Amino acid sequence: MRKESSGLMKRIASLMLAAVMAVSVLTVMPENVNAADYTIGGSGTQTITISDTECYYATSDYAWIKFKPAATGYVTFSAANASALDNYTNGSWTLFDANKKQISSQDKFDTSYDQAYMKTNVYGVQKGKTYYLRVLPILGTTITAKYTKVSTKGGAKKSKAKTIKKGKAVKGVITAGSKASQWYKFKVTKNQYIKISYAAKTNYAIKMTVYQGNRNIGSVNPSYVSSKTTSQYVVNAKTKKKMKVQAGTTYYVQVSRYNANSSGFYTLKWN
């Protein structure tokens, strides 16, 4: 749980000290100190530390982290406290493309929370593209990037949909800034109940729309970074109860970004 008023006075004192530190830095240096720019590798696990003298309270500026993924997949950023002024840090992070055009929402992080989504963010990324993570760290912060390679096999359009075998999960990634959808299909070979299972690691949400033939029968939006698997049955439109689907019925699943700022990793399976 988040630390509440018990640490309030300490936090105020810390911020006052940070402000004094900023004044001291500006007095000593002949020109204003800017937050540092960093470049990290494009694979494995990469870590950089933004010090108290480089944080927002010392510089009134962002820190920029440049990276170029070695493979298409997703990158998980996590924040940890690195401040000598307090026992937690907070701030925000935002993803930009090579031209520094914003391609994600500005999301907050706060290491005083136990929940992973409060100090972790996930973005879908494409091999060889340059990205920038803009970080506004209130105090000293360590940022860790972990890359995960994902081979996406979904079709680029409905007519090219990739067949999903019963009980076999498929994995894919929606890359940041991309409008492209990925299509899958499966055909029911006997009368049965249909259960669709899905999960996502994302900075916001992934949209999955299910079609029975050409008819849109609903969508789900797995969200955030927990990767918890959720399952839903195909239900009767009127009664909302699960129904047996007749043999020969074909279903299509379109996977896309939830909005212009969302990206990430997903899994999909049917039984």
Domains and CATH numbers, the chain: 5-149 (2.60.120.1090), 158-270 (2.60.120.380)
Burial of 228 per CB tally in 10 Å (0-12, 13-18, 19+): exposed
What per-residue confidence (pLDDT) applies to 33?
42
Classified as helix, coil or strand, 27 is helix
**Chunked in runs of 10, what are the mean pLDDT values of the chain (271 residues)?**
40 44 35 65 97 92 96 98 94 97 96 91 98 97 98 93 96 96 96 94 95 92 80 85 92 97 96 94
3-class SS string, 50-110: ECCCCCHHHHCCCEEEEECCCCCEEEEEEEEECCCCCCCCEEEEEEECCCCCECCCCEEEE
What per-residue confidence (pLDDT) applies to 35?
52
Contacts of 92 (CB under 8 A, 6+ apart): 106, 107, 108, 109, 135, 136
Q: For the stretch 109-129, what's the b/e string if a residue is b when 16 or more beta carbons lie within 10 angstroms of its beta carbon?
A: bbbbeeeeebbbbbbbbbeeb
What per-residue confidence (pLDDT) applies to 223?
86
CA 11 vs CA 19, 89, 110, 130, 155: distances in Å: 12, 10, 13, 37, 51
What per-residue confidence (pLDDT) applies to 82?
96
